[in-house]
């Protein structure tokens, strides 16, 4: 049964049908949430890689810094606090809003601390500062993801995921470009200080939008019982679902190649002789617009093909995109080659950012959104990040960039095959949580605006 949404009423009814969903409050909020989610990643990702490379730090040490991202992968260990612990004083703003403010301030403080750490005075302070940014950024992400999923209706998950990815790219690319430009004209400390303000969009969005209507606190318990319930119930609920372990295996496998490749791009660019300005132009500039195009294409695919088929297509494209960097490595310093590789990779990532993120969001139970999405998003890249931090630099030195990127292409194939099998068996539909069905729309339908008969959700 078709649903009637706010996009079909009032002034929005005069807009093209494809544009209307993007004008709703929840997807717009997702855009600003994404901006703040993306910038801490840039501070300890490509930006820190470039900073350390220019300070003469060797490749193995630089790629070891990607282990800092493991804070994002282990964030599910403390995500239950965001679901189950009410903050004093600030708690009156609501569970999600209060934690948004606290974690946002923590990110600002951590980035300022990283700005003051100087590699020339020893790597110890830089390592500590980067770890703090990783922990603060991961905690910020826990709240941002939970808030986004809970303000979006099921019918909005595709559009909202796309807007979130738009914001993420604006935040990460904007922070990366701003840091490069400021560092070239001042220093890296000033560059990091300038980027710290990008935590504000999510904090202000939470204050303006207020507590999500779909946020549901777990049942009240007292003392030790309450704590144990908050810690274990989100995971118990998830793993009681049909085929949960296969779903988790897909989450672990699907992005190995993409993560392994993405965290080494700046090393390739530097070794190919690209300057900071060229990297800012091609990687940040062309990549930024290509990613936006990819998100737009992803939105069309999701709307026309439904969640399952659009996810499968996006997985295939992301695998093939790694091959383009093998071609760039083989061709050497080429602005056209860099533009082509960056363009294709970002288009594929943009499509995946809409479709795959929408699926992962729909897996959540609304009572435990923070904990479950933290588990899902953490698992999505933990293998790739661990391999990058422990072996990527050595693999590049041993086999060269061309063979390394061919290896990352092959590493993406198992995830594609597994998702196809999950589709054929109906496991994808059976894995969906209440976030994907409760409210208007049902993500399991062939078309996002269609309703289908749905069985009762466990725990809903």
Mean pLDDT of 138-165: 92
Give residue 455's pLDDT band: very low, low, confident or very high (50, 70, 90).
Answer: very low
Query: Is it the case that residue 6 has pLDDT exceeding 70?
Result: no
Q: The whole model's pTM is what?
A: 0.80
How far is Cα 152 from Cα 443, in angstroms, rounded to an integer?
12
Give the pLDDT score at 273.
83
* Mean pLDDT over the full length of the chain: 83
Residue 457: the pLDDT is 45
Write down the pLDDT at residue 219.
55
Domains by residue range for the chain, with CATH: 22-217+226-436 (1.20.1250.20)
Q: What pLDDT, in 10s, does the model give residues 286-319?
A: 888 898 899 889 988 888 888 899 999 999 999 8
Q: What is the reported pLDDT for 347?
A: 93
Choose between 9 and 152: higher pLDDT. Answer: 152
Model confidence at 56, in pLDDT bands (50, 70, 90)? low
Largest CA distance in the chain: 65
pLDDT digits (tens, 9 = 90+) for 86-98: 899 998 899 999 9
Tell me the C-alpha distance between 133 and 152, whole Å. Answer: 28
């Amino acid at each position: 049964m078709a649903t009637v949404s706010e996009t079909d009423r009032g002034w929005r009814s005069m807009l093209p049908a494809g544009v209307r969903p993007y004008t709703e409050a929840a997807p717009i909020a997702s855009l600003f949430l994404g901006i703040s989610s993306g910038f801490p990643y840039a501070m300890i990702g490509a930006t820190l890689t470039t900073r350390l490379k220019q300070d003469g730090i060797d490749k193995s040490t630089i790629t070891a810094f990607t282990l800092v991202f493991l804070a994002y992968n282990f964030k599910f260990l403390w995500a239950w606090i965001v679901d189950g612990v009410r903050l004093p004083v600030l708690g009156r703003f609501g569970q999600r809003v209060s934690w948004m403010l606290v974690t946002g301030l923590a990110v600002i403080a951590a980035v300022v601390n990283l700005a003051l750490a100087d590699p020339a005075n020893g790597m110890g302070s830089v390592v500590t500062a980067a770890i703090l940014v990783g922990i603060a950024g991961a905690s910020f992400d826990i709240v941002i993801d939970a808030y986004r999923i809970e303000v979006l209706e099921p019918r909005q998950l595709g559009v909202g995921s796309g807007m979130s990815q738009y914001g993420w790219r604006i935040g990460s690319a904007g922070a990366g470009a701003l840091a490069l430009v400021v560092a070239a004209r001042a220093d890296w400390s000033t560059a990091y200080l300038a980027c710290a303000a990008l935590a504000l969009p999510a904090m202000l969005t939470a204050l303006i939008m207020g507590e999500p209507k779909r946020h549901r606190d777990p049942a009240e318990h007292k003392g030790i019982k309450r704590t144990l319930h908050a810690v274990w119930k989100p995971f118990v609920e998830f793993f009681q679902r049909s085929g949960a372990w296969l779903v988790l295996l897909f989450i672990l496998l699907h992005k190995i190649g993409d993560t392994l490749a993405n965290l080494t791009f700046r090393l390739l660019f530097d070794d190919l002789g690209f300057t900071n300005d060229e990297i800012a132009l091609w990687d940040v500039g062309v990549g930024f617009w290509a990613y936006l195009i990819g998100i737009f294409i992803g939105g069309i695919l999701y709307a026309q093909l439904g969640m399952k088929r659009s996810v499968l297509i996006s997985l295939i494209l992301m695998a093939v995109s790694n091959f383009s960097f093998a071609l760039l490595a083989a061709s050497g310093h080429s602005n056209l080659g860099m533009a082509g590789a960056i363009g294709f990779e970002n288009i594929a990532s943009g499509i995946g950012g809409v479709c795959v993120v929408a699926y992962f969001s729909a897996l959540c139970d609304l009572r435990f959104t923070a904990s479950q999405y933290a588990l899902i998003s953490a698992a999505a890249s933990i293998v790739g990040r661990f391999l990058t931090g422990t072996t990527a630099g050595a693999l590049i030195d041993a086999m060269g960039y061309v063979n390394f990127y061919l290896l990352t292409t092959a590493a993406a194939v198992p995830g594609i095959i597994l998702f196809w099998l999950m589709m054929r068996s109906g496991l994808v539909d059976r894995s969906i949580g209440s976030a994907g069905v409760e409210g208007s729309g049902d993500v399991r339908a062939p078309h996002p605006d269609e309703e289908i008969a749905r069985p009762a959700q466990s725990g809903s």
